[in-house]
Structure 1
Amino acid sequence: MTPQQRTSADLETEHRFQTLFEQAPFSVQLLSLDGRTLRVNQAWKDLWASQEGDPLLEFVLSDYNMLTDPQLEAKGVTPLLRRAFAGEAVRLPTILYDPKALGKPGASRWVEATARPIKNDEGRVLEVMLIHEDVTGRVLADQELRASEEHFRTIADAIPQMVWSTRPDGYHDYYNRQWYEFTGVPRNSTDGESWNGMFHPDDQDRAWETWRRSLSTGETYEIEYRLRHRSGQYRWVLGRALPIRDDGGQIIRWMGTCTDIDEQKRVRDELLATNRRKDDFLAMLAHELRNPLAPISTAAHLLKTAPHDASRVERSAAIIDRQVRHMRALVDDLLDVSRVTRGLVELEKLPVEMKGVVASAIEQVRPLVDSRGHQLTTRMASGDIHILGDRTRLVQVVANLLNNAAKYTPSNGALRVTLEVGDRLTISVVDSGIGIDAHLLPHVFDLFAQGERTPDRSQGGLGLGLALVKTLVELHGGSVRAESAGPLKGSSFIVSLPLLDSDRLLGNAPAARAEPAAAARALRVLVVDDNRDAAETLSLFLESLGHTVIVEQDPMRAISTARHDIDVYVLDIGLPGLDGYELAERIRKQAGGRPATYVALTGYGSDVDRQRGAAAGFDHYFVKPADLAELSQVVACSVPHAS
């Protein structure tokens, strides 16, 4: 090949290189061995928005030296460039390059670059080629994403719930601060599938199955489970997660929360348990109230069919009296619990000798103890033992415990009452009865709590006694607890009460029981009650004491009847059309100051009702069923009109 031909070939190669160099889709900058720019292609000019005649381009092609650029030196690029000039291909870091830092116009750009040495056949470096990539859009997008993530993390850490996030396949890769504070685990230790180990063993399979179903179907994840707290205890939480979808409907992430619901769940479970106990109690109440109705109904029938058979009348009356007293005791228990648990009971606190209290309680329960063949033993500390309290209520406490022990101990069992004195007085009631299940033991003093009742259980009662005991003992500044080794192993109830100093002792004799008072003189009594049977039976009782009784069921007719000389008005409160309060006021106004005794006899027994009765002018207020002896005393003490 002639020199002429070689020159032509070289020119053609040079032309091809130039064409390729200019048309390359990426920015190319050729550097001489001293770091100056030999040439740049069109893509480089486009990258820096610099064309022919532009100050930046002229500067780069004449005065600029990359090896002495302070921006590159400050960002650690210069040492890497020198390695390229030494013959090594080097990838340069992503940097923000600003022409203004060189005193030239132009926009700053984020770029990535690769420096490659161009060598001759002997391996000597002739030039260095820089290939740039404009990554401004990607870097700004990444910055925006990081800022968004940081904003999200700030919000997530401010939320009181635990927040977590997973990839589309369910891999957990984020938890907020509350998660780590709640669980106390090291950061990132629950990434991936390790979260399931934080659940209670009994909840793990259920949580996994629910989570897998949500991942496969895209359904919302929602479940309650127990999560291990940093204290080592498990607390109930509500776990929820929603899928995040792109515009095409594909799940790109799951966002979830865990909310501590331990307290709410325990309260809810306790309310449900209380409701169940209440329903059981109402069923027992209906049962207990129906039981006396059968013998009362039968006895009433016998009285009608054989009114002249004295023996049958006496036996029937005794049956009715016993069953009414039983029903009255049930209703009294209900009212007592209502008043005590609402704090409406005021104790009459006086020095009380406790051996006498125990003796009175035993006397009350003795018929039940004897009827079941129990052996009752007592052990008392020496000397008198006094506390400051309400004797009636203290007798009620011990009697309730003894009654409970007697009922729930099979026939021919053993009961023991012990009084011990230390820093405080301790009263123990121990039985050999059916015992208490471990699950019931913490709840025996709860209202409506009672062991399982089956059709063959005949102990009766409403399960209110122990609730009353607890409240009354606490009102005396004491405490009570139950102990049992389990079913069929008996029970113990231990009451602790503060002792009274001996220098504060005073007498406290019990009041004598009143007896029905026969009339010293006949009185005219008006009984107004819309319950015909109640009105007639009360009329018969008052007439048996020698009084003249008029009965009215209609309050308006009672106003007319009251125009006659009446000594005692016995008025029901719940009357139709006109209640007993207004009726008493009208009668009193109509009487014009004529003296008479006004007695309310009603089923309403609250303090508010009694106050209304006093305001309406009632002299006495009895709650049904009234103590007939006390009522007879009130009537007997009334002043008759002058004839």
Structure 2
Amino acid sequence: LAALNGPSAAEHAGRTIHEVLGSHADVVEPILRRVMETGVPVTNREITAAPPATPDRLRSFLANYFPVRTPSGETIGIGAAIVEITDRKEVEARLEKALSIPTVGVLFFDLMGRILDANPALERLSGYSRDELRELPWQTLTPPEFEAVTARAAQDVGDSGETAPYEKQWIRPDGSRWWGLFAPTRISGTGSQSECVEFIVDITARKQTEEALRESELQFRTLADNISQFAWMTDETGSISWFNRRWFEYTGTTLDEVKGWGWQKVHHPEHARRVVEKIRHHFETGEIWEDTFPLRGKDGRYRWFLSRALPIRDEAGHVVRWFGTNTDVTETRLLAEVTTVLSSSLDYRETLKRMAELLVPTMADECVVQLLDGDAEMNRIVEVHSGPSDVPLSHVVVPLTARGRTLGAMDIVFPESNIRYGKGVLEFFQEVGRRAAIAIDNARLYEDAQRAIHMREEILAVVSHDLKNPLGAIQMAGAMLLRRQVADPRSRKQNEVINRSGSRMEHLIGDLLDIASIQAGRLAIEQKLEEPDEVVVEAAEIYEAAAREKGVVIVRECEPQGPPIPIDRDRILQVLGNLLGNAIKFCRSGDIISVRCKRSADHILFSVADTGPGIPDCDLSHVFEPYWSAKAHAKKGTGLGLYISKGVVEAHGGRLWVESKHGEGATFYFTLPIPVAS
């Protein structure tokens, strides 16, 4: 006490408390007076003051004051016993501060099951007040499913004084639950007499997040395991750590076999090296990866897959993992190859054989195609197979149907029995059958068309021979009759009709032969070097008389001559004649027809333009069709002239077209190429 107050113990004697204690004597003096007056001790009185020895530091003391009495009981003085409790008060202050943390609940309890005290944070978390908690055994706050873990923790605290933090739920007054992380420890006593403190952190939000993550993972796995594609994930280096269920069902492998880079074992040897090199490059650069390659199934067959992988990046943009998929494109790929094969030739027997070789062994072990003949009998025209034929078989038989007619059937054979085919497989074979049937039907239609063309050519040959000879005799006889001086005008007119009809019939037979040659691709062209402007002049002169008769004027406009070009003069005169004849036929009296030719670097441009009524828009697309005529003149021609003209021009390597506006005339153009040597 002397050390606290400053003066020595001897120097305290005879001094007043104001002289010794200084400023805090005002706190002590009333206590001393009360003890003197009442004779009643004052115990456990806490006093906080800055003693004279340490004026800059507040210190805490626990003081006890008691009366000093004579044997007769008279109070003659006061005794004091003072204990410094500064350190304890500082610890209590820190504890009080800890107990006031709003996010940490603090519970004082004993192992008999009694709750001794709780801080405000625990009141808020639990929904109970401090007084209500004191009335409850702590076991009643714990749901039944957590009683075992709570009992084990209590046992550990009783035995060793502490236990590892553990998680459990507590029940609120309204029946709702919350999750807490509980960390109990013993502060006094032993065994069941232990008094303990427990720090509790609310982890409800974390548990909800974990539950959401578990639900999300469950949804992801459910989705990933039920999609038709294979799915997989790797770390940032490309080492695979997860595959979905579809991968294992197809490959028949286990995760231990294919994790990391072990997946290479199911790749086709001819593609494995290329695939690995490409995907390593993308893993190193972080670029999206895509490739197509075959993978071996557990049945030993290879199927083609379109594969992709996307980098998953963190907030800093660094790749943390890769997510990839493999999509089966075998049927799509095969269907494209089948279509290419079927359309490559009109020899359907050969294309069907190549089609079957595509299907075997990728999709089946045997493919048989049978077609109906004229007697409705099935004839086997293709048979491709691999593997033994003495094992149990399963079949898919697909009808080959086109334009509502069944042409035959395709039999797909598998070396297993009791197979249940998926909808996708059946639809694939049905589509192959449909395309094969169309190819067969088209080939047969072509064969029929070729036979018809051959028959037509034979008929035209007969026509050209059997009709032209007697027609020539008729024309010769008619010419001889015209040369005679026949006095009877009526007879002379009949002779002229015979000659005109013969010429018309000769022209018609020529047109029929030309159209047959054009359609067969055998139109005869005999080219010689000719001056284009001379051909124009000749054609105009031939039709000037017919034009004058109708009151139409023909105008010729040709540029200065250049080098001659190789053409069939008679055929080009035929084209110009058809164009001039049509123009005269449609023009009215007073209209003008202009015939032009113009030379450019690589071609000669011819044109026949008129000021007639023009061609309606609805007719423009039909003018070059065979046997087509405008309604106004539908009975005045065969409708073959423009079709033949187009064939003649194209046989020369040129082009024929028309431009017209209804009511403003029409212009027909055609070009003839100028060879480089010219």
Superposition TM-score tier, normalisation by shorter sequence = 0.3 to 0.5
Please report the TM-score for the alignment, with normalisation by the length of structure 1: 0.43
- The higher radius of gyration belongs to 2
Higher strand share: 2
Please report the TM-score for the alignment, with normalisation by the length of structure 2: 0.41
